[in-house]
Amino acid sequence: MEAAMTAILDLFKRMPEGIPQHVVPAELAGTPASVQRDAVNRLLKDKKIQLQMSANDSNTFVYKEVEAGKSARLKGLAPEFLLVYQCIEAAGNTGVWTKDMKFKTNLQQPQITKILKELETRTLVKAIKPVNQPSKKFYMLYDLEPAREITGGAWYTDQDYDSEFIQVLQTQCFKFIKQEGDPTLEDVSTFIHDKGISRVQLRDEDVMMILNTLEYDGQIEKIDSPDGEDRFRQALLAIPESSAFTSIPCGVCPVFNECTPDGPISPATCVYFQQWLEF
């Protein structure tokens, strides 16, 4: 049986994504079926492999190899504990909502709560709260980093939108572009990294978002360069903060397009227009 167990584990070198159940008998054709079955059961019992639903086909089950350290932490867990663990593992770095676990595992909520507590104690899973659903508790594997859509990315700190951090980046990027003269996106990203301005690792896409806000505000503009790479410079014609039109209520009215002389929204009934005339 030891030889059969070794042969099964060797299959993961060729199939790291998982071994379909039907593959084992074909690969171990020279081994009696009873020995194959005992080898698989022993590997499952020792938590060296686990049986999961295929990510590509819900009707197919595959054997997945369990990491050595994780195997020790999983040892001794009852089948229902492993079921919850596998449900969380399948969710990846986006996590799974506790109520969704109930439907996916067919276990009762009090039982799931007890299981989650034990899995957290063993540092196998951890609880997270998505920034867009703070009232819901999700679970994911302990060693995984949450996806950006869960944490909110670089612009959120402890699930709060960090407007001060964004303003600091905007100010520093504008100063750099003004002083440097026609830098590229890579130049700006390198500047932020080298100066230690950001306490989190920013991707080029994150820096581009900051540059876009500066461009929309009329502080910088994008220009073409001979090398075909986009560059940025201080805007030659900055957008004025106010004008004659914005000084009157109509210039900043959010329902301006719905305002008509005889409609429910009209200059005659506009309290803001009347206050402006009195002023």
* CATH number for domain 160-234, candidates 1.10.10.10, 3.40.30.10, 2.30.40.10, 1.10.287.130: 1.10.10.10
Pick the more confident residue, 225 or 136.
136
Q: CA–CA separation, 93 vs 105, rounded Å?
A: 19
pLDDT tens by residue, 64-117: 887 766 767 777 788 888 889 988 988 888 899 988 998 888 889 999 999 999
What's the pLDDT band for 211 if we cut at 50, 70, 90?
Answer: very high
> Given this model, what pLDDT does residue 122 score?
86
* Residue ranges in the chain assigned as alpha helix (H): 2-14, 23-27, 33-45, 68-74, 79-90, 98-105, 109-121, 148-151, 163-180, 185-195, 204-216, 249-252, 271-278
Fold match, 2-69 / 77-150: yes
Query: What average pLDDT does the structure give for the chain?
Result: 82
Long-range contacts of residues 130-139, Cβ cutoff 8 Å, at least 24 apart: 130/95, 131/156, 131/159, 134/159, 136/97, 136/98, 137/97, 137/98, 138/91, 138/94, 138/95, 138/96, 138/97, 138/98, 139/88, 139/91, 139/95, 139/96, 139/98, 139/101
Q: Which fold has domain 2-69?
A: Arc Repressor Mutant, subunit A (1.10.10)
Question: Looking at the predicted structure, is the pLDDT value of residue 9 above 90?
Answer: no
Tokens of 154: 């670089």
Task: Please state, for a pLDDT cut of 90, what percent of the chain lies above it.
Answer: 18
CATH node for 77-150: 1.10.10.10
Task: Please state, for a pLDDT cut of 70, what percent of the chain lies above it.
Answer: 87
> Given this model, what pLDDT does residue 238 score?
58
What's the pLDDT band for 15 if we cut at 50, 70, 90?
Answer: confident
> Given this model, what pLDDT does residue 25 score?
86
What residues does each domain of the chain span?
2-69, 77-150, 160-234, 249-278
Tokens of 43: 């590997």
Helix (H, G, I), strand (E, B) or coil at 263: coil
What's the pLDDT band for 244 if we cut at 50, 70, 90?
Answer: low
Q: Which amino acid is at 6?
A: T
Question: Looking at the predicted structure, is the pLDDT value of residue 40 above 80?
Answer: yes
Question: Looking at the predicted structure, is the pLDDT value of residue 60 above 60?
Answer: yes
What's the pLDDT band for 133 if we cut at 50, 70, 90?
Answer: confident
> Given this model, what pLDDT does residue 191 score?
92
Question: Looking at the predicted structure, is the pLDDT value of residue 239 above 70?
Answer: no
Is residue 64 within 8 Å of residue 18, measured between CB atoms? yes
